[in-house]
Structures are given as structure tokens and as C-alpha cells.
Chains A and B, each alone.
Chain A
Amino acid sequence: MNVPAAWYLVLAAVLFGIGAYGLLTRRSALIMFMCVELMLNAVNLTFVTFARTLSDIGGQASVFFVMVVAAAEVTVGLGIVVAVFRRRHSTSVDELNEMKG
């Protein structure tokens, strides 16, 4: 018998927490993107766990679409990072404060 779903859900919660902490504390835009990927993976793990628990393929289909959106997000995000780096010579998000009121 497989391990209970709650184990995987707790693991996903921990992974989400680690990603959220990194997103809130790190300064480099690249690392922040990686932390967003961690959080997305935590959600994917939750989807797959519920798909197994409820015997519903819809959870896995959702993961499929989350992966597509994550790929698009990383593509555009890294494009923005490259464009910003070309102008500011830094990937630190703290230096992007020109629109501060």
C-alpha cells in the first residue's frame, strides 16, 4: 500500500514554504524566479497527490497546464531580466526603484 496522501501534502507544504521564504528574502531576480519554480512544483505535487487520492485524471491535466504556463513565465521573465540587466548592469530587484513615489 502506498504511503498516505497526507505525507505528500505536508511535503508539498514544506516545499511551498521554502520557496515562499526564498522569494521574500532573496534579492537576485534569478534566484527569485527559481523560488517561484519551487512554489509551482509544490502546487504540482499537491495536484498529483489529489489526482491519486480521488482517482481523477483532472489533477494531472492541471499539472500539465501549470507546466506550460511555468515555461511561458520563465521565458518572458528571463527576457525581462536580460533587458533590465542590459540597462542597469545588475539583477538585484532592490535597484529597480525608479518608479518609487
Chain B
Amino acid sequence: MSATAYALPSIVVFVTAALLIVVGALGVLAVRNPVHAALSLILTLFGVAVAFIAQSADFLAAVQVIVYAGAIVVLFLFVIMFLGVGRSRHDHVEPLVGQRPLAALGVAVTVGGIIALLASSHWVTGATSVSGSSLAKGTGNVHQLGTAVFTTYLYAFEATAALLVIAVVGAVILARRERVTEGAE
């Protein structure tokens, strides 16, 4: 199955997304300044959004840009600037001997194993859903996802509400500056 069998636009979109994702991820890995790392993270998140659109996940691509690139990375930047964290001085010390080679080895084994599994067998198959047959056409993606979330996954959706409230309350309690009662002492 040669690459020329596929339409050129989809290949271009895939290569663009792959470049954005890999360059951004390597930037997060390599850059010393946390602010630059956060900006590289935005690059990766946009690449993932491109890959979502290419696979007709329109709603998730929008959420990816708004929530991830818009909210989460801004939260990262806010904390970085709030703390005034500059260049990390500790990355050159290596308290655990051989940590980097071991990490590289473990990652290489994991990724290589996944790719070998992909290449060697046809485990990327399964029962095709009967309800979502129009998914590949790219129409009505939001409608489909909304129906699924509010019917099949309703309990999980309600649980996320509780989860978000707990997370917000927890974050406020954690980050609150404790008012030491100096006057009482």
C-alpha cells in the first residue's frame, strides 16, 4: 500500500500536524525557559487540533484550542509568571545515576513495542459501530457527540461536574495564603 494511493490534501494535512506536534513536543523537552516551554506546548496542542479536524472531530478540535491552548496553557503561564520561575538550574544535576539513558531506553522500548505491534498484526480492528456510521462523513459531529454525552455517558458527564467543583475548591484551598493570626498571638 503505497503513500500515493491517498489523496494529496490529507497527506499534506497529516504532515503539517505531525510537524507541529513533534516540533512542539521536542521544544517542551529541550527549552530551558518554562515560558518558552509553554509556548511550545501551544504549538503541539494546535497540531493535535489539526489532527482532530482531519479526522472529523470538529467539536473536539474547537475544545482543544479553547480549553487547552486557551485556558490550560494560560494557567501554566500565569503560574510561571506568578512564581517568577526563571531558567531551571537543576536540570544539569543528575541525582539518580544513569537516569537519562534508562529513561531513553524505556521510552524507546515502549514506542518501539507499540509500533511493532501496529506493524505486525491487524489488531487495529474491531466491531464497527452501527449507530455512528455517519461519523466519517464529518457532518453532524457536534450533534452526534452531544447525543452520546447526554444519553450514553450521562452519569459520567454529571460526575465531571462534581469533579470540576472539587478541583476548583481544592485549588483554592491549596493556593490560599494562610492568614496567620498574628494579632491573637
Q: Which A residues have a C-beta under 8 Å from some C-beta of B? A: 1-11, 13-22, 24-28, 30-31, 33-35, 37-38, 41, 44-45, 48-58, 60-61, 63-65, 67-76, 78-83, 85-86, 90-92, 94-95
Contact = CB atoms under 8 A, between A and B. Distances in A.
Given A25-B103, A71-B72, A91-B85, A7 B29 contact: no
In the complex, which of the residues A8, A22, A75 has the most CB atoms of chain B within 10 Å of its own CB atom? A75
Contacts of A44: 48, 60, 64
Given A18-B26, A28-B34, A94-B93, A58 B129 contact: yes
B67 A60 contact: no
A82 B75 CA distance: 12
Given A4-B1, A34-B37, 16 more contacts: A2-B55, A11-B18, A11-B21, A15-B21, A25-B103, A37-B72, A38-B41, A51-B132, A54-B129, A57-B129, A57-B145, A61-B145, A69-B160, A72-B167, A78-B171, A79-B175
Interface in B51-92: 51-52, 54-57, 59-60, 63-64, 67-68, 71-72, 75-76, 79-80, 82-83, 85, 88, 90-91
A7 B118 CA distance: 10
Nearest to A82: B175
Contacts of A15: 21-22, 25, 44
B95 interface: yes
Contact of A78 (B76, B104, B149): B76
Interface of B: 1, 5-7, 10-11, 14, 17-18, 21-22, 25-26, 28-29, 34, 37-38, 41, 44-45, 48, 51-52, 54-57, 59-60, 63-64, 67-68, 71-72, 75-76, 79-80, 82-83, 85, 88, 90-91, 93, 95, 99-100, 103-104, 106-108, 110-111, 114-115, 118-119, 124, 126-129, 131-133, 135-136, 141, 144-145, 147-149, 152-153, 156-157, 160, 163-164, 166-168, 170-175, 177
Contacts, number: 257
B108 to A, nearest CB: 8
B28 A24 contact: no
A78 B75 contact: yes
Contacts of A70: 68, 72
